[in-house]
Amino acid sequence: MAASINTHFFLMITLPAILIILVFSGSATAQLSSNFYATSCPRLPTIVLNGMRQAVSSDRRMGASILRLFFHDCFVNGCDASILLDDTATFTGEQNALPNRNSVRGYEVIDTIKANVEAACNATVSCADILALAARDGVSLVGGPTWTVPLGRRDARTASQAQANQLPSPFSDLATLISNFNDKGFTPAEMTALSGGHTIGFAQCSSFRNRIYNATNIDPAFATTRRATCPASGGDSNLAPFDTTQNTFDNNYYRALVARRGLLRSDQELFNNGSQDALVRTYSTNPARFNTDFAAAMVKMSNLSPLTGTNGEIRRNCGVVN
Ligand code: HEM
């Protein structure tokens, strides 16, 4: 009898404790944390910041390019550095998917930073985490907000060209954009804030030609200006800035939208008598509000289905699986 009470007591105390430990260890591996490398690679943030400083000072557009690289990584199977895997004779990755090919830039910047990180902390930091930090630094170096990056992602051993081909199209209407972002867990308002990434950088003629020649919801003077360097045929890769301050992260993208000077169809859809008009107006007059919302949405994007714990790997070279 005494033995059975003892056993009972033992189970009553220990079972819940075991359950609690199991639950917590489960979430500890699934959750990212900003101090993940605090002891294993304390210099990581400095190494990434220095790498981005160098990259942006020799090519100011690189802040924009790395931000886009990160977006295209996170929207395809989560932020797992899958976009960094190079194609080989036996492996087809994401770099040659239509939205990425001859368009996404900055792979070599991440490779250089990774080499510096490896020199300081061998086989410790994922390419996915380096990219998340680099995107944050690229934004803040060109005048944008900063945010705390949760860390502890691991790198994918696979990639999906098919899914990369599903990245949002510049020819989309508002309903499609809302649906694309909803699929990844974002509200329409978060989609509108994230689209403000287009406050920096450039697009190629082929992605906005149809708009500047055929759209009616466009400022005619703006259409004329853009046509000067984006002919009706040819010049597909000629560049135009998204707004008049393409090297500075500010709220001019939204001011452009209100003036019907959005470059892509998908940009102007955010201000075209639809559900996002009011928020676009708010951001066009309230840069602080845009910065806050953008930073929050970036943290959310950087949490998209990361590989953690023992899933994936810490790639030695960002372009190839170990
Ligand atoms: C809303 C759906 C989106 C669409 C349809 C879209 C589409 C595009 C297109 C077509 C380009 C130009 C590419 C080229 O012509 O080579 C571009 C550039 C860019 N996108 Fe997006 N994008 C979207 C959302 C985002 C988001 C969420 C971000 C980041 C938060 C972002 C950041 C950028 C940046 C920074 C550039 C300029 C890159 C550079 O100059 O190298 N975009 N985007």
Q: What is the pLDDT along the chain (322 residues), one digit of tens a residue?
A: 444 444 444 444 444 444 343 333 333 335 899 999 999 999 999 999 999 999 999 999 999 999 999 999 999 999 999 999 999 999 999 999 999 999 999 999 999 999 999 999 999 999 999 999 999 999 999 999 999 999 999 999 999 999 999 999 999 999 999 999 999 999 999 999 999 999 999 999 999 999 999 999 999 999 999 999 999 999 999 999 999 999 999 999 999 999 999 999 999 999 999 999 999 999 999 999 999 999 999 999 999 999 999 999 999 999 999 9
pLDDT, residue 31, reads 84
Residues 106 and 221 in one domain: no
Rounded to two decimals, the pTM is 0.92
Structural domain count of the chain:
2
CATH code of the domain in which 105 resides? 1.10.520.10
Place of tokens 């649906």: 179
Specify if 199 maps to a domain.
yes
**Maximal C-alpha separation, the chain:** 94
Domain end among 142, 167, 192: 167
Kindly tell me the burial class for residue 228, based on how many C-beta atoms sit within 10 Å of its own C-beta (0-12, 13-18, 19 or more).
Answer: exposed
Phi-psi region of 212 (alpha: psi -120 to 50; beta: other; left: phi over 0): alpha
229 lies in the same domain as 251: yes
Q: What is the DSSP string of 107-131?
A: HHHHHHHHHHHHHHSTTTS-HHHHH
242 CA distance to ligand 1 middle (Å) = 9
Residues 81 and 125 in one domain: yes
Residue 39 belongs to some domain of the structure: no
Q: Would you state the pLDDT for residue 197?
A: 98
**Among 150, 167, 184, which residue terminates a domain?**
167
81 within some domain: yes
Residue 144 belongs to a domain: yes
Calpha distance 305→184 (Å, rounded)? 10
Q: Identity (one letter) of the amino acid at 189?
A: A
pLDDT at position 46? 98
Residues 150 and 227 placed together within one structural domain of the fold? no
**What's the pLDDT at 4?**
46
Element (H, E) at 287: helix 287-302
Q: Phi and psi of 208, rounded to 5°? A: -130, 5
> Is 122 in the same domain as 207?
no
Residue 10 domain flag = no
Taking alpha carbons only, the member of 235, 230, 175 closest to residue 208 is 230
| Burial of residue 123 (number of CB atoms within 10 Å: 0-12, 13-18, 19+) | exposed
- Cβ of residue 145 lying under 6 Å from some atom of ligand 1: no
The answer on 144 and 202 residing in a single domain is no
110 lies in the same domain as 188: no
Instruction: For ligand 1, say whether the CB of 195 is within 6 Å of any of its atoms.
Output: yes
Identify the CATH number of the domain in which residue 256 sits: 1.10.420.10
Query: In the prediction, which pLDDT does 209 show?
Result: 98
> Is 205 a domain residue?
yes
Asked if residue 315 is part of any domain, the answer here is no
Q: Which of 52, 62, 65, 72 is catalytic?
A: 72
- Asked whether residue 264 falls in the same domain as residue 188, the answer is yes
**Structural domain span for residue 149:** 44-167
Hey, whose CA ends up nearest to atom 6 of ligand 1? 170
Q: Is residue 243 part of an annotated ligand binding site?
A: yes
Name 161's Cβ contacts closer than 8 Å, sequence gap at least 6: 92, 93, 94, 96, 97
Q: Are 154 and 251 part of one and the same domain?
A: no
182 plus 162 within the same structural domain: no
Pocket test for ligand 1, best of 71, 177, 245, 304 (most atoms within 8 A of CB): 71
Residue 248's pLDDT is 98
Sign of the alpha-carbon dihedral angle for 230, 261, 223, 269: positive
Answer yes or no: is 5 within a domain: no
The reply to whether 72 belongs to the active site is yes
200 lines ligand 1 (CB under 6 A): yes
Residue 91's SS3 state is strand
- Token pair for residue 156? 């994918």
* Same domain, residue pair 188 and 241: yes
Q: Is the CB of 65 under 6 A from ligand 1?
A: yes
One domain, residues 126 and 196: no
The vertex-127 CA angle with 136 and 46, nearest 5°, equals: 50
